[in-house]
Structure 1
Amino acid sequence: MNISSHHINEQNAAAAFSKQAVIFDELYAGNTIVQYKRQRVRDHLLKLLQPESHILELNSGTGEDAIWLAQQGHFVHATDIARGMQEQLQQKVKLLHLQQNVTNELLSFTQLEQLQQQKKYDHIFSNFAGLNCTGELNKVLQSFAPLLKPGGTVTLVVLPKFCLWEFLLLFKGKFKTAFRRLFSSRGVTAHVEGEYFTCWYYAPSYIIKNMRKDFKLLALEGLCTVVPPSYIEGFAEKHSKLYNSLKIKEGKWKTKWPWKYIGDYYIISLQKK
């Protein structure tokens, strides 16, 4: 896939998520495991962020994280290529009177050299696999260093190349889903709201390798390794005791081998040298 086709893929993904923008929050608000995932990411961030940090967010979506970060006293420049998502974010910011803490820009993470707010940030953040929508993640990662202050940090939430829960679907006869990450070197086609785009999967080692010149690893933890992925609908409600037990186990094992590598996602943080 050449550069122009990568750009077309991003535009297709943007069109898909723009169509979902108005109902996006409603779709996931009642999903217990989505809320669990979001809280895990926020707990991770709270360990890293200094008071009143200036944060560059990539793929900010409808602004759920940007709003939360602003309410913690941070300053967020929220970027996304999906116009519909940006419009929802702007409405929330205005409604909650957070204009002093949240700014936004319609921009792809593959074009950070065109960022309007070209300043030094304390932190770069991307949640829930936004970065999996490019086959050129190496170029994106290598653009981070000039945008960060010395000692600045990065937190990314990424889909890895293997997910235990997904692989176990093999025993339910869902072979395509079970094997899709294992045979994804050229990407896997995703389908949302009538739009098709390609998704790639990246191991933590890929990110560490492409950032090692300017960054050191701070933390790596699996997300939904023991707890099932959020697309297994109703699990938390149907099996509440088991769900609570799995949460406890994941809390103990999330940073250990092999659990930090085999979740639906992983959370990785690095620090600029």
Structure 2
Amino acid sequence: MNLEQLNRISTGKGFIAALDQSGGSTPKALLQYGIKEDSYSGEEAMYAVVHEMRTRIIKSPAFDSERILGAILFENTMDREIDGQFTADYLWQKKGIVPFLKVDKGLAEPANGVQLMKPIPDLNNLLKRANDKHIFGTKMRSVIKEASPEGIRQVVEQQFEIGKQILAMGLVPIIEPEVDIHSADKQKSEQILKDEILKQLSALDKDVKVMLKLSIPTEDNFYSDLIEHPQVARVVALSGGYDQVEANEKLTHNHGLIASFSRALSEGLTAQQTDEEFNALLSQSIASIYKASIT
């Protein structure tokens, strides 16, 4: 583990950019970016186009370490290069931004009011490759739809079980049990979730650190005890479908919680914009998310 990177993630001022839309959500992300599905053909062409979009974001002067602590990549992005360097090396060496990798394979069908992660076959091999490519940490997502004690316990147990496998390979896991922002009993789910997370944290070896990625809580500062927990390097928030203005506004009310936004970060960016327009809008978005993250 890179201690300089750990220190930056644990104590730095800023937020984490989520650039990790995977195969299933990529066409939608490209559509928002102004690229229609009929303009590329096949998966390889789609990934090439999305890499151009991510490269444009990463290389933008607005995308800087003054405001951005880390960036979460999709596996395909990790394997590609920017200006002759693997993406993770470019991020850290050229930009001073810590690279993470999304490792989950998507969500299982809903059961017990939640969606667990699908099995992740060959995870150790992926983690070895991540180490070879100088990735610092990982991210994996489950979703909680209802305040089901049994379902939420399963989500958190699965997250921490795989998290320990990731820790054993020398990487720092971002554990992401998202509570659906449209859930009718969101606040009750958050209470059950927090209790289960605290239970799992207390069972970890004392010398390890994990990160948490959570939906912005209904009650302000509800996760402050997780933020202050000695075994939590950082707690970051997902935008979860809120637009940028609303996500920032809600984040502002949660001291110590920082953003890890995806859609809310790239909102309004299009392939058709000139570099000047693109960089200006990205800079504006980054400034507003940064401001909400340091309150």
Q: Judge same fold: TM > 0.5, yes or no.
A: no
Output the TM-score relative to the length of structure 1: 0.36
Structure (1 or 2) with the greater strand fraction: 1
Output the TM-score relative to the length of structure 2: 0.34
